Each structure stands twice: as structure tokens, then as C-alpha cells.
Structure 1
Amino acid sequence: MLRAAGVGAGDEVVVPAYGNAEVAEDVVLAGAVPVFADIDPASYCLDPQAVAAVVSPRTAAVVVVHRFGIQADVRRLRELGQRHGLLVLEQAESETSPLDGPLDGLTLRRAHAAYLSGRLSGVVTPDGGEGHSYEQYVVRVPGNGRPDRDAFARAVRAKGVDCRVPVKTPVHRMPRFWRDIQLPETERAADETLALPAGAAMSRRDLQRVVSACNALGGLLQPAF
């Protein structure tokens, strides 16, 4: 899509650093330069204000990634694009299990997310804003950032709960795309976030196991806010 729109050598494309390197790699393949902007801490998607701060005369496009089933603030980003004459492209990030049907799976994921959010303690549960499809149920483990999150994840896995770190290294900290910039919300999210199981195939017993394993560790954590 970037090539088809005429984006190429000499152009800059604003992309998120919270996520995998795929989008930045696509920008490079088109001959352009990826420029990283910070995220909104609630949605994990590009923050329009942060995007505006990195727009330059060379900026040709913005690639918006909808993360974990949360929609980015596309309206504000498109308004920004119109003001600066930028192409705004959207990309969905799908982690949905093939077992999750398009309607029933969505309904169950939302129900499971509501169950977890109502019972978990010691972690910061997702902001269930309008349209959240919970393709991943991502919490934050507060405290001292990555050390506490990683210890929490090991303890939960030891109790038989499958969890994973959704973003281990922000793209701007990967050797190929290293930038000497600070993206505080991106870096904080990479240090604190943990994806807990909440798929449509889970039973109530499975969900109770997640709650029990997490809540047993809640008293060990000191909330960051």
C-alpha cells in the first residue's frame, strides 16, 4: 500500500514501536524511513499527540496498528493526516484463535474479559473501551517494571496458567531499528504488560484458575499508581 501510494526514498513514515518489527520492516522495504511515535497507555495504539510531535516536512504517511482488539483513535489521526497532507493507513493485529467464531467467539471473549476484570487484583486490568474485542487480554503488573512482571509471569505459569509477554522489546530498541529517543509509554508498556488467557474455548474453571493464580500474588506487588 505504501508503494502504491507513492511512498518511497526520502520519505518518512510514522509507526508504533510497541509491537513487532513487521510494520517498520515494510516501511524500509518501500524505501522509506520509519519514525517511531509513542503510544496511548490505555489503548497501546499510536497517540495522536505523539504523532503530531514527530511529523516533519519529510513525513508522507502514518501506519496505525489496532492492538489487542482495541481500536486506535483513527478519527484524530485522520484529522492530523488531513492537516499535514499525510496518508493514514490502518492495520489490524489479529491473535484470535481459529476456534473463536466471528460472533460467538467475540461474545465469549468479552464475557470472559468481564469476568477476569471483575475479579483480578494486584494487576491493572484493561480499559474495556467501546469496541474492545479482547483478541488478547492484556494486564499490567505494576511495581518495579520488567523484573516484577517477569517474576509474576513465572509464578503464574508455575500454577498452570499459560501467559505470555506480548511485546518483549520495543522496535526502537532492536539493533536494526535502534533510535536514540525516549518513548516513555512504549517502554513502560513493554516492561509491565502480560497477556493472560481469556479465549472463547476457556471454561469457567479455567478462568477461575487464572484468577486464583494471579490473586495469590497480588499482595506481593506494590501498585505503581
Structure 2
Amino acid sequence: MSGTIPSIPAARPVIGTAEIEAAVRVLRSGRVVQGPEVAAFEEEFSDLVDGRACIAVNSGTSALQLSLMALGIGPGDEVVVPSFSFAATANAVRLVGAEPVFADIDPRTYCLDPVAAASVIGPRTAALMPVHLYGHPAAMDRLTRLAERHGLAVLEDACQAHGAALGARPVGTFGLAGCFSFYPTKNMHALEGGMITTGDPQLARILRLLRNQGMEQRYANEIVGANMRMTDVAAAIGREQLKQLPAWTERRRANAKVLDSLIHGLPVPHVADGARHVYHQYTVRIPDGRRDAVQQELEQKGIGSAVYYPTPIHRLTPYLDPGRPPLPETDRAAAEVLSLPIHPTLGQTELERIARDVSIAGGAR
């Protein structure tokens, strides 16, 4: 089957009748950008983040960039970020003129390690930007205390973590702002889009201005802004997806329990005490340089998988710096991680097949 579409894909975005009908309804309405569907989506998404203000934008990257702009972070500032993430995390920092400073990760959760973050804080540090990678919440209790000690802003990259939580507190409610993505492979999507959450009314107003050319009323520009609005088509699709998110999340979590119980010979995903993992990815580790061979073997058996991320951000061309301190846990994770199918459309037979084949291919030799 090598070279063909895997019979069990690594991801399977859902676009059903409800989403299609919602998109058609909006197109027929003539209100297609920053209209009533966007307002309704913002209000409904607020229930996921304890009633915080929600500001819809056109992508998760835009959410990160606008949040940094609204917090006044720019040239001369540094933002502590993990290198083990998608490039958008660091790109957003560079796009506002600030500099990302990379810190190592907790090898169990793959999220920003508070001790490592503390070690790179300097006089120019303005913010911490932890990533809730794979749907597992970062150690926000420790990171927020660290930020408070140093007078830093906290901006959550929650682009992979819709509905994740620490204790009873959902991600997107710990920092001054939280950022979510609605890319098609996320736990819920809007074809494309993003959402910023904040508990600060003034920050919410600035964000709304920034996404819409700096104006609240048409042609009454108050500040310099951008065009990062969400379309009503995207919002309508997002609203339909949001209705299904609780059930999809529980299915992902149930799928993870099945895989946990059936996979042998490999470390399964760690869940920290009090954490609610929503399994955007179900990621195992394949040590001893065998990861790529195991992935190829799974592909030959018709099982899709993916590596998030084979090259840490600090090793990408725009961020190379030979003088940077090493990030050993980041490099080790990049060489070993393999994400298996976990999407809510999987059946029991498919889960058993995934577990059996990855255990055979990846188990100790």
C-alpha cells in the first residue's frame, strides 16, 4: 500500500450536511463577513472559556499576532516560547518585531517546562507563550506564578486544545489572552479561522479594533489595524462544529483509553495530575532511531501517522543561532514522536488494528 492513501488516515476532518447547509444559508443571506454569524459564534464559544470575551479572527496565527500587538509587545521585547511547536508560535512573535527565546519542554507532556522557561528570562523578556501541545494543557499554575514574579504577560497558544483544562479551569482562561485555531485538522474547525479569549474588557476592545483596520465604526479609524476578520461562512461552520465538540472530545478521550490499554512495548501519552487532555494528537515515542522505519511500516499496513514536529523551530532556517544553548528534550522528542490516528470517526476494530500494528512495529527489538 506504500504510496497510496492509508485506509486509516492520520486525520479525518468532518464536513457534514449541517456545515454545508450553514455555509449555504450564509451565502444566500448576503451577510458574509464579520456579521451576525461571527457575533453568535463568539458568544457561543465563550461558554467554553468560562464566559470570557471572544474575538473571532481569520486564523490561529492571526490570533497570536494580534494578541501580541494588543499587549504592546514589539521591537526590543523577547517572548519565551517552546521550540517544540508549529512555526506559527515563533512566527507571530517575529511578525510584531519581537524576538522569540526558546526554552526546553517537559518530556512527559511536550509542553513548556517552567524551570527551563525561568532559566531564559532576561531584562528584555515581556511575555511567556506556553503551547498546550497535542491537546494537553501546559503547567499553567507554575507558569503563571513565574510570570507574576517577573512581571510578565502570559499569552496561551491553545490552538490545539479546545476544551482542555487544568482542574476545573479551561485553557484560554489563565493568561491575559488565549488563542485557538479552527484549521480543518483541529478538534473542531471552521475551514479556517481563529479565536482570541480574554478576561480584560479593554484588551478585548483593542483586539476588535486591530482585526478590523483599527475601527469600530466604519471609516472612524481609531488606531492602526489590520484586516484579520472572520467570514460569516467560517463562523457558521464553526458554530455547527462547536455543537459537536463535546461529543467528539469524549470520543477522542475514549479512543485514547482504548489505545492506552492495547499498545504494548511503547510509552503512551502521559496525562499530568489534574489535566484534561483532549487528544488533538495521540503521540507515542519510538526510541533508538527507529521512528521513521516504524512509520513506514505502518504506512505499508494502511495506517496513517504523522510527526509533529520533525524539525524544532530553533532548527528552522529563520531561527538558526549557533550560540543558542542546547534544547536536549526538544531535540529528543523531535527524533522520537509519532502521532497515531485518534479522530472521533474511528471504530473499535480500527483502534485494535492501530494498537496491534504499532505494538508489533515499534515494540522493543
TM-score class normalised by the smaller sequence: over 0.9
Q: Determine which of 129, 135, 147 is the counterpart of 2:280.
A: 135
1:15 aligned partner: 81
1:103 aligned partner: 246
- Counterpart contact for 2:188–2:245, Cα < 8 Å: no
- Is it true that 1:120 corresponds to 2:186 in the alignment? no
Q: Determine which of 128, 145, 148 is the counterpart of 1:79.
A: 145
The count of residues paired between Structure 1 and Structure 2 equals 218
Q: What residue identity is the alignment partner of 1:125?
A: V
2:312 aligned partner: 170
For 2:188 and 2:356, the matched residues in 1 are separated by 24
For 1:174 and 1:38, the matched residues in 2 are separated by 16
- Counterpart contact for 2:128–2:152, Cα < 8 Å: yes
- Counterpart contact for 1:122–1:217, Cα < 8 Å: no
C-alpha RMSD of matched pairs (Å): 1.5
Q: What residue identity is the alignment partner of 1:19?
A: S
Give the greater-gyration-radius structure (CA): 2
Runs of 4+ in 1 over 3 A off after TM superposition: 97-100
Q: Secondary structure at the match of 2:93?
A: helix
Q: Secondary structure at the match of 2:358?
A: helix
Q: What residue identity is the alignment partner of 2:294?
A: F
Unaligned 5+ runs, structure 1: none
- Is it true that 1:203 corresponds to 2:294 in the alignment? no
Q: Secondary structure at the match of 1:7?
A: coil
Q: What residue identity is the alignment partner of 1:96?
A: N
Unaligned 5+ runs, structure 2: 1-66, 161-185, 190-240
1:26-82 per-residue CA deviation (whole Å, 9 max, x = no partner) reads: 111111111000011111110000000000011111111111110001111111111
Q: Secondary structure at the match of 1:207?
A: helix
For 2:82 and 2:345, the matched residues in 1 are separated by 31
Q: Secondary structure at the match of 1:167?
A: coil
2:130 aligned partner: 64
Could you tell me how far 1:120 is from its partner in structure 2?
A: 0.5
Could you tell me how far 1:93 is from its partner in structure 2?
A: 2.6
